[in-house]
Amino acid sequence: MKFFANLHNNPQAWLLLAFSALVFEGCALYFQYILNLEPCIMCIYQRVAIFGILFAGIIGFIGSDNITARILAFASWGLGAIWGLVIALEHVEMQTSSMSFLFSCEVVPNFPSWAPLHEWLPSIFAATGDCGKISWQFLGYSMPEWMIIVFATYSLIWLVVLASTLKVYKRL
């Protein structure tokens, strides 16, 4: 329990979190630009969630000695992981539901007016694909199904670290 509870103090653990998210961002760009798979709006939102986890790792690494930075990093990690999981689940529902014709997917991301990522970095955040189209599978699972596994893993680790930390600090 103490191992998980102390992870938030360890800069290498935060660096590993950031590195894992960076690898997933690299994979997304590989799929987009090398394999020519166009990302849909749901893919873009999942990409943003992974960036949230990446930034959490960077903030945690830089501020591992600062309680405010750790809390911010921990909140960003949890928010990115859980929000990404919800988006991935919705995406799978869009692709597999017998009522999929009822789902529609926006063309322009719904980013805040103060952060129009799709305008600032269209090569990363512009949505050009169709949410309902399954254009890639590995071991019988589509991209959003794999993202459920990724985000569920991030969420589970986040919950274990949170529970361990709360349990250890409750004893003190």
* Catalytic positions: 40, 43, 47, 105, 131
* DSSP string for residues in the chain: -HHHHTGGG-HHHHHHHHHHHHHHHHHHHHHHHTS-PPP-HHHHHHHHHHHHHHHHHHHHHHTTT-HHHHHHHHHHHHHHHHHHHHHHHHHHHHHH-TTGGG----SS----TT--HHHH-HHHH---S-TT----EETTEEHHHHHHHHHHHHHHHHHHHHHHHHHHHHH-
